[in-house]
Structure 1
Amino acid sequence: MARLHEFADMAALTAALAERVAWRLRDDLAQHEQVVLAVSGGKSPVPLFDALSAQSLVWSRVAVTLADERWVPPDHPDSNEALVRTHLLKDRAATALMVPFWNGDAVPETAAPALSRVLDALPHPFSEVILGMGEDGHIASLFPGAPELAAGLSTRASALAVNPTLAPHARLSLSLHALLNTRDIVLLITGEAKRRVYERALGQGSEEELPVRAILRQNGVPVSVFWAP
């Protein structure tokens, strides 16, 4: 069952979440030579990335990868890799290892098997997966209505190509299996509209309708929902 943490504003949420993620990474680094942090793109986590980059820990032993990536090169304004490099891999976090999704292939379908092998070679379980959620209930690039959604919820492969019906760009996404291969999940949401989607996801209905339900309904990995208006 997910645990909801409510904050008065994004500044308070960001400060609390940066401390929490840094604590998780430090705790795992005390026990493991290398740890993995998987993050989502978009506007919501940018303040968190900026705050997290100032946290004191042995960043050279942290590998940072993505929950999903739009199939665009890393110099494209829609690139999640570019967002992470700009806002997270700086200051104290500049020595962290980036594990990108983009490899230059023409389409993500040909890149997915190689990316799965790269991800499978990283230390598991990951220390932390930080997810966002769309107002349609998607997580990573597991979109309702996408032809690949059923595979994304069931495959044992770590990565798969996704072609959303509404969102721009073809994508590579972690599968549900890969998202759950972690010690901890944070779902970061903001605004009243997404709060309503989250509350609807707690009710009856299918994971195909609201893919976030696949995270909220499982009992194997703790999920903390961080929300601010």
Structure 2
Amino acid sequence: MHLNHFADSAALNKQFAAQLVEILQQAISQRGEAILVVSGGRTPQALFQQLSQADLAWDKVTITLADDRWLADDQADSNERLVKASLLQNRAANAKFISLYAKADSAFTGVTAVLPRIAVLPTFDAVILGMGEDGHTASLFPCSEQINEGLAEDAPAVLAVKPSTAPYERISLSKSRLENTRHLFLHLVGAGKKTVLDQAMADNDVKSMPIRAFLQHPQLTVEVMYAEH
């Protein structure tokens, strides 16, 4: 884990967007395509808006989510809706987006439709994770019955999750799929998130705080992008 501490979120977003553009440009130059995995929530919206205006061959970029609630993209709490409204705009409107949602009554019946979309993707170029106050990341919730499956090394690329402490069924990329990336970031804003980060680094019980599986990964270095406000 490498902590990048910024004066404020504006400085963080400026540097982070530039770093992501460089990563994506390099991927396009070397392999002809780039794959970016993002997270939902309020924290990344300003970053997404800045990134959407970058001068980049966006038609060669594929974007998907680390997780989403099992909601259609016209629902207010859909991460897909947020990404389409804040990232897939301006120049980035030309990017390809892979949805984690399918028309099914439940994430547990719909996961079979979503799985092939993600399983066929090569190594990601960049993954941006978030973190909850309970130490969850993506929808790998410590409170869920699916946490063992989500953290398993032989887990499928995506899985359905039903957290007991948060609303909605979820669809989430597994730890093994998320860590199959060239660059891994954790985007945090707020003093409270720094407290949770310190707690996560103070122990190694990954089931109680799943973010530890990434922060303490033996091969990957997580670049933590943090600003207090």
**TM-score with structure 2 length normalisation?**
0.97
Q: Determine the structure 2 residue equivalent to 1:209.
A: 208
Q: Determine the structure 2 residue equivalent to 1:44.
A: 43
**In 1, are the aligned partners of 2:126 and 2:183 still within 8 Å (CA)?**
yes
**In 1, are the aligned partners of 2:149 and 2:155 still within 8 Å (CA)?**
no
Q: Determine the structure 1 residue equivalent to 2:190.
A: 191
Match of 1:135 among 129, 133, 136: 133
For 2:220 and 2:183, locate their aligned partners in 1 and report how far apart those are by CA, in whole Å: 6
Q: Determine the structure 2 residue equivalent to 1:218.
A: 217
Cα deviation code 1:20-62 (max 9, x no counterpart) = 1111000111011222100000000001100100111100010
- 1:172 match: secondary structure: strand
Runs of 4+ in 1 over 6 A off after TM superposition: none
| Equivalent residue pairs, number | 227
Are 1:73 and 2:72 counterparts?
yes
Unaligned runs of 5+ in 1: none
Q: Determine the structure 2 residue equivalent to 1:145.
A: 143
**In 1, are the aligned partners of 2:54 and 2:91 still within 8 Å (CA)?**
yes
For 2:160 and 2:68, locate their aligned partners in 1 and report how far apart those are by CA, in whole Å: 10
For 2:182 and 2:218, locate their aligned partners in 1 and report how far apart those are by CA, in whole Å: 12
- 1:38 match: secondary structure: strand
For 2:124 and 2:196, locate their aligned partners in 1 and report how far apart those are by CA, in whole Å: 27
Cα deviation code 1:136-161 (max 9, x no counterpart) = 10000001111101110004300000
For 1:217 and 1:223, locate their aligned partners in 2 and report how far apart those are by CA, in whole Å: 8
For 1:61 and 1:162, locate their aligned partners in 2 and report how far apart those are by CA, in whole Å: 31
CA apart distance, 1:112: 1.6
Cα deviation code 1:150-187 (max 9, x no counterpart) = 11000430000000111111000000011101101110
For 1:156 and 1:171, locate their aligned partners in 2 and report how far apart those are by CA, in whole Å: 16
Unaligned runs of 5+ in 2: none
